[in-house]
Amino acid sequence: MTNIHKFSLNEGIEHLKKDKVLLKILNLSDFNYRLSKGDIFQVMIRSVTSQQLSTKVAETIYNRLLQFLDFEITPLHLLSKPHEELRQLGLSNSKVKYLHSVAEYFSSTENAEKDWNALSDEEIISQLTSIKGIGVWSAQMILIFHLDRPDVLPLGDLIIQNGIKNLYDLQSERKLLFEECTEIAESWRPYRSLASRYLWHAKDLIIK
């Protein structure tokens, strides 16, 4: 079943306020709802480039890549660049392979012109994770921050998992913790993406 694609931010906040524990972080005045810009290919290139790097370092390397490609990052242009030349920009061996995998996927006209809004969250995760180097977490970030899908719960993200654990004073670990977090988040449907955004935003307040 295709998920809800658009929603009212105010309606989402009012729904989440029914959870009196989550309410503690819903009144943050500096919360800003933003979406990433560009098409999915561009967003994924930036995402792969930024993986496991500080914001400053990631921005530096991404800007080097932009300049190296004459500010025109296209699948074919990226594929035309040898592995070693991309490595010299500060990218690891694995990241160069992943960038080429993303470019290979989107070099297909069918994938480049795909109507992602016509697909369910599950279908998008399945298709994006077929690309080497793209995991479930990365696909979920695309869903939340680019496609504006309202009901994604990225429990593989430690900030989300630990945020729920600390906010709700959970004592469990691993599988049981995952199950308890999932159960708590059931009341957030169909706005689990919005709740997750608040958990990320409030991480310094609730992560012990």
Catalytic residue IDs:
157
Between CA 162 and CA 9 the distance in angstroms is: 25
Q: Which two tokens stand for residue 172?
A: 């469990």
Q: Which two tokens stand for residue 87?
A: 């490595």
Between CA 195 and CA 20 the distance in angstroms is: 13
Cβ 136 vs Cβ 156: under 8 Å: yes
Closest CA to 197 of 12, 47, 59: 12
Calculate helix-pair angle for 136-145, 40-50, nearest 10 degrees.
130
Whether the bond between 154 and the residue before it is cis, its omega within 30 degrees of 0, is: no
Closest CA to 192 of 4, 27, 2, 40: 4
Q: Which residue has the tokens 């504006």?
A: 148
Specify whether the backbone of 52 is left (phi greater than 0), alpha (psi in -120 to 50) or beta.
Answer: left
Cβ 65 vs Cβ 57: under 8 Å: no
